A and B are shown apart, each in its own frame.
Chain A
């Protein structure tokens, strides 16, 4: 009679209790995997939001620009530079920008915002900016007009075809000012972006700032998040310390902080969940042993070593957890695969709240093997700790007392 076979038969002595315990493990796994996958999905969409609507995966900047975002910390777009960057493995497109702060006025109404000079064709490849144009048209080559974000347009009470005044400081202390017709209104999914400012053609921006052929940044679209470090490495190899190279994490430290602290609070919640489940399993083990105390006494009396008896009980505990984990895994894997392909839209009040926090109102799920592995390992680790109790209990078991029944 193998230990495992005995353990297997033993756990089915009290079917109901075993099923309840298995179910608790099952739900713990499903719940935590669901939560973890949703977190990953939300983080992923938040990161995507930032990366794909603005920053790109990596930015190349003037070495001082990140500390002092001044129009004076710009660099030359020498000929062939973009092509050289795009030749690096993993780089899909290099998007040039000249960006600074500007006052935006209409009549006596003025608002501060970003002034972003873009190459419309390149920009399109990274941010698909044209999809957010709700009124009017996207910028064309040689365009002298601007795209203005929704909230600023509303504030300035400005519409298509109106003309706005931009005022700022140009390169090396010059005064920059100009009149620009509004070509289009941009409505982004998040309020933060809708408060941003104006986009115009990079050539027009250079003229405005008196910054001929200058750039504040080149944003890179990389084919996969995984390749970001290697692309950065290649940039350093190629250009050394001519520029500063910032990954999306370095460009959005608040986002990284948010994700990390959110993960930490999730760990606390999961900890509580596992504590509850752990005590559930412990309760089952305690009952199992209390019920079988006499039986265990008889087994030791007739010649079974305590170690082997403990191992059988240990196996019973592990089996229960294992069944729960496997069932939880088999259930949640397809579920999450489905949800990752079919994200759940959030409507009504909650959806609005999401938008206010700058999030797309959709519940994204992401299949991350690590999430599954972590949950499975955690449940098994919790059970492993609990399943050591039988060794302690049986080690101390006085055969004679167990048989007598006290």
Chain B
């Protein structure tokens, strides 16, 4: 059974005089354990779709069903709580709380979930080890490289045991070595722990690693290929 069902979703921005159909009638579904890339030219609607999927923005039309819950029907603190319990986020950059160490950043989100300090401690350690940062756990973000920060962000996204992880161009600010490294980590977590990743990217090296590639154009799905 699909964990995400996107049904005929439209997002129209009416900021200016001309309405912008950022997402224009999209139907997609994702299964548990997918490793999917959304690609397409700039302005094709990738970010908009991920934001809708993450409950950060409202659809103009259609439904997004995550594990049986219609995300658009949630509001306020219920919506925030839904995100906390179900969705992991990795943004392009500046994901972390600057005054917290890598480890505290990872623990913090579990504290929001009210997990025991014991569990927080062991899980944050394990996750930071998994992303190759066992020796940088007590560093604050400003003391970490961009790639290291993104790896901490991945660890943090995993920490709350979400149903899936959304990552909007997670490697856009990274050099190729760091990109490679981050992708390997994501891939391994995906295959070993069945973590569902949905990410957008412009990077062909990232696209190559994806097992499913969804191509966007003008707010519509142009192609959807599974390798």
Contact = CB atoms under 8 A, between A and B. Distances in A.
Interface of A: 1, 6, 9-10, 13, 294-295, 298-307, 399-400, 403
A301 B56 contact: yes
Given A10-B99, A302-B156, A303-B84, A403 B108 contact: no
B73 to A, nearest CB: 17
Interface string B150-182: 000000110010000000000000000000000
B80 A306 contact: yes
A6 B89 contact: no
A302 B95 CA distance: 10
B81 interface: yes
B81 A400 contact: no
- From A1, A302, A303, A304, name the one whose CB has the most chain B CB atoms within 10 angstroms: A302
Given A1-B107, A294-B94, A400-B51, A302 B99 contact: no
Contacts of B80: 300, 303-306
Interface of B: 51, 54, 56-57, 77, 80-81, 83-85, 88-89, 91, 94-95, 97-100, 104, 107-109, 111-113, 156-157, 160
Nearest to B105: A1
Given A302-B88, A306-B77, 14 more contacts: A6-B99, A13-B98, A13-B99, A294-B94, A298-B91, A301-B54, A302-B83, A302-B109, A303-B80, A304-B80, A304-B84, A305-B77, A306-B80, A400-B56
- From B80, B84, B95, B107, name the one whose CB has the most chain A CB atoms within 10 angstroms: B80
18 contacts: A1-B111, A13-B99, A295-B97, A298-B91, A298-B95, A301-B54, A301-B56, A301-B91, A302-B157, A303-B83, A303-B84, A303-B113, A303-B160, A306-B80, A307-B77, A400-B51, A400-B56, A403-B91
Contacts of A10: 99
Given A10-B99, A403-B56, A295 B109 contact: no
Given A301-B83, A305-B77, A295 B56 contact: no
Nearest to A6: B99
Nearest to B81: A303
A295 B77 CA distance: 18
A132 B48 CA distance: 91
What is the interface of chain A mostly: helix, strand, loop, or mixed? helix
A361 to B, nearest CB: 55
Contacts of A303: 80-81, 83-85, 109, 112-113, 160
A235 B8 CA distance: 93
A168 to B, nearest CB: 84
Nearest to B159: A302
A13 B141 CA distance: 13
A388 B97 CA distance: 23
Contacts of B77: 305-307
A295 B98 contact: yes
Contacts of A306: 77, 80
A6 B77 CA distance: 21
B81 to A, nearest CB: 7
B111 to A, nearest CB: 6
B11 to A, nearest CB: 11
Nearest to A294: B94
B79 to A, nearest CB: 9
A299 B94 CA distance: 11
B99 to A, nearest CB: 4
Contacts of A300: 80
A399 to B, nearest CB: 6
Contact of A302 (B89, B100, B104): B89
B171 to A, nearest CB: 18
B100 A1 contact: yes
A400 B97 contact: no
Contacts of B81: 303, 305
Contacts of B84: 302-304
A120 B97 CA distance: 80
Contacts of A294: 94
A230 B54 CA distance: 73
Nearest to B140: A9
A78 B56 CA distance: 93
Nearest to A13: B99
